[in-house]
Amino acid sequence: MDYISQLGENAKKAKASIANASTEDKNYILDKIAKNLLAGTERILESNKKDLDSARDNGISDAMADRLRLTSGRIGSMAAACRELIALKDPSGEIIEGSIRPNGMRITKTRVPMGVIGIIYESRPNVTVDAATLCIKSGNAVILRGGKEAINSNKTLMDIMRESVAECGFPMDIVQLVCDTSRETASAMMKANGYIDVLIPRGGKGLISAVVNNATVPVIETGSGNCHIYIDNNTDLDMAVDITDNGKTQRPSVCNALETCLVHKGIAESFLPALKKRLDTHNVELRGCARTVQILGDSVKPATDEDYATEFNDYILAIKVVDSIEEAIAHIGKYSTGHSECIITQNLASAEKFQKEVDSACVYVNCSTRFTDGNEFGLGAEIGISTQRLHARGPMGLNELTTFKYLINGNGQIRS
């Protein structure tokens, strides 16, 4: 039996124990994980330092290093997220709806775990804990495959979680890590039919495309975020600068960060210099259309179609001056990955038009795209942001890690 099949077999054997666990038992595991993460802080930081040192030797960018870096504060946040999950409602076993048929047969639609979830992700080791604990709370077994750049951090985090699970009397294999980060293991997960019930890629465009295009197991597409902000003609200038700055620089390496700013021609000459002045404090590189270059000068690099299609994950912003809201919406429709878009406007009709016609998972008016996050939406930790339409869209929390089961009860009914 090959490596991934063995992990899959382990998960299949373990999944019933977590699927049938009580809410109290699942919360007990989560609390134990939180405590052991905090107790293991130095152990985790030592492993993370190895990853950071290796990443620097390989010339990783500052923004990508930030995705990889763990601190005592970030470990504390991971532990806090575990405890926040404890407070959330357990979706497993929830009655969604029910009916009694004319023949007296009672039908109940209930929420149940998916089974075994596979997750392929990059860089951010906090995903290891977020994903595992979400799966535990929703009653799923999980197989995690992170990137090679975070392998030391991920191994230590997984060891702590498996030790915690065992301390609570459950089989450790409800959470497993793929320690071989070769392309072959990723490909094997994509074709692990019979073992993995659903596969979730979380990372850059290349990873997500590879999984979507090659997997034979069901896939939920997440993560890729070419996010836009449109500055309408009728706009509060200060608010527009603040929100664009926040969306680009607050944490540029994440999927809900802004990548393109579209500016109505009627406000471009006043807005763009004010925006550049603010973004210069963060050393943001600007790439703009001809009208942008004309307004801001040669410090702006001419933008290409590729720039408008790129998720930079860095201190880079593409800019385009547009003639109308219709042109802005058309641009978004052409280049967006369907993640998060925003309009800054004081015009109610423009706001309504934008939210109606822009086809993305999250569409904002006068607030930052950085809020596209399960915790910020009050959903608790999330497995990712789904940019597809089936079966989940937007932040994927506990409910999105479940499926349905119909329970039918009768007293002798037969079909004529």
Lowest mean pLDDT of 98-102, 252-256, 374-378, name the range. 374-378
Q: pLDDT value at position 66?
A: 84
Residue 100's identity, in one-letter code, is: I
Query: Strands 175-177 and 141-145, how do they pair?
Result: parallel
pLDDT exceeds 80 at position 378 = no
Read off φ and ψ for residue 57, nearest 5 degrees. Answer: -65, -25
d(CA 250, CA 247): 6
Cβ atoms of 306 and 274 within 8 Å: the answer is no
Q: pLDDT value at position 317?
A: 98
Q: pLDDT value at position 37?
A: 98
Mean pLDDT score across all residues of the chain: 94
Query: Strands 95-100 and 106-113, how do they pair?
Result: antiparallel
Nearest of 306, 333, 301, 314 to residue 228 by alpha carbon? 333
Span 392-408, pLDDT tens digits: 888 888 999 999 999 99
Q: pLDDT value at position 345?
A: 98
pLDDT exceeds 80 at position 379 = no
Q: Which residue has the higher pLDDT, 203 or 362?
A: 362
Looking at the chain, the whole-number percentage of residues with pLDDT higher than 90 is 83
Span 210-265, pLDDT tens digits: 998 999 999 988 767 899 999 999 999 999 999 999 999 999 988 899 999 999 99
- The helix (H) or strand (E) run that includes residue 20 is none
Q: Which residue has the higher pLDDT, 207 or 43?
A: 43
Read off φ and ψ for residue 334, nearest 5 degrees. Answer: -80, -40
Alpha helices in 285-370 (DSSP H): 290-296, 305-308, 325-335, 348-357
Cβ atoms of 152 and 127 within 8 Å: the answer is no
pLDDT exceeds 90 at position 9 = yes
d(CA 175, CA 89): 21
Q: pLDDT value at position 123?
A: 72
Span 254-297, pLDDT tens digits: 889 999 999 999 999 999 999 999 999 999 999 999 999 999 99
Read off φ and ψ for residue 38, nearest 5 degrees. Answer: -65, -40
What is the per-residue burial (b if ≥16 Cβ within 10 Å, else e) of 357-390?
Answer: ebebbbbbeeebbbbbbbbeeebbbbbbbbbeee
User: What distance, in Å, lies between the first and last C-alpha atoms of the chain?
Assistant: 48
Give 61's pLDDT tier (boundaries 50, 70, 90).
Answer: confident
Return the number of other C-beta atoms located less than 10 Å from residue 20's C-beta.
12
Give 80's pLDDT tier (boundaries 50, 70, 90).
Answer: very high
d(CA 126, CA 74): 8
Identify each DSSP E strand in 157-217 by its residue range. 175-177, 198-202
Residues 6+ apart with CB under 8 A from 229: 243, 244, 247, 258, 260, 261, 262, 341, 342, 343, 344, 369
- Which residue has tokens 């200060």? 238
Q: Can you give the pTM of this predicted structure?
A: 0.82
Mean pLDDT of 99-123: 95
Nearest of 156, 191, 197 to residue 177 by alpha carbon? 156
Span 143-178, pLDDT tens digits: 999 999 999 999 999 999 999 999 999 999 999 999
Q: pLDDT value at position 204?
A: 74
